Homo-oligomer: A and B are copies of this chain.
Amino acid sequence: MNIIIADDDIELCNLLKQYLENENMSVDICHNGQDAVEKISQNEYNLLILDVMMPVLNGFDALSNLRKSSDLPVIMLTAKGEKIDRIVGLEMGADDYVAKPCDPRELVARIRAITRRTHKPITSAVNNEETSLGDIQLSHSTRVVKVSNKVIELTSTEFDFLERLLSNAGNIVTREQLSREVLGKRLQAFDRSIDMHISNLRKKLGERQDGLERIKTIRGNGYQLLK
């Protein structure tokens, strides 16, 4: 479990670091929002603990910045007396809010509560080595897709999209889900990359023999791989 802490209180950082490492977590530290965003883009973390009041780039700005490109779980820290609107933070995509001074034990419990959900293996659905639907055959391990027994070349992301759609074949997969679960980032207002991936996927999959569309658009909602 890799944690990154962003807080300008050096004392507190070290304290938390020590405590968390005792719990078998690996901890990085930085002291302003800027550094946090930077480090996160370079390393793999499982969770960010983010102080609201910080120099250079405060917690809120760092969060909104981060959310453009990442879906990393975030716990926000507020100093006692800070009457900051917790709701804003939660709506911006924070996962939890903890008031300082915080009991490290509670922090650990909250970290576990969040990562319990986040870290969930998707394996149950992908237990089968292969999935197929109609003339589409998809091998999860080799990441090869065949349509009517002919291999089609998909990029990695296109494969992931198809895999995700296939895992819910017949049901709707929302754009939000596709963004979060496949692209690993939050859906932004004018983000069109999903549309492009779907468009390319449709092109590569080609026509269905029965003339039905393969991927149905549910306007304002998402996409649906037709059975």
Contact = CB atoms under 8 A, between A and B. Distances in A.
A169 to B, nearest CB: 9
A14 to B, nearest CB: 22
Given A73-B117, A91-B112, A127-B170, 10 more contacts: A86-B106, A86-B109, A87-B109, A90-B106, A91-B109, A94-B113, A95-B117, A114-B117, A116-B180, A142-B172
Contacts of A86: 106, 109
Interface string A166-186: 011011100001001100000
Interface of A: 73, 86-87, 90-91, 93-96, 103, 105-106, 109-110, 112-114, 116-119, 121-122, 125, 127, 141-143, 155-156, 167-168, 170-172, 177, 180-181, 218-221, 224
Contacts of A90: 106, 109-110, 112-113
B142 A224 contact: yes
A156 B221 contact: yes
A156 B220 contact: yes
Nearest to A227: B142
Most buried by B among A106, A110, A117, A122: A117
A105 B180 CA distance: 24
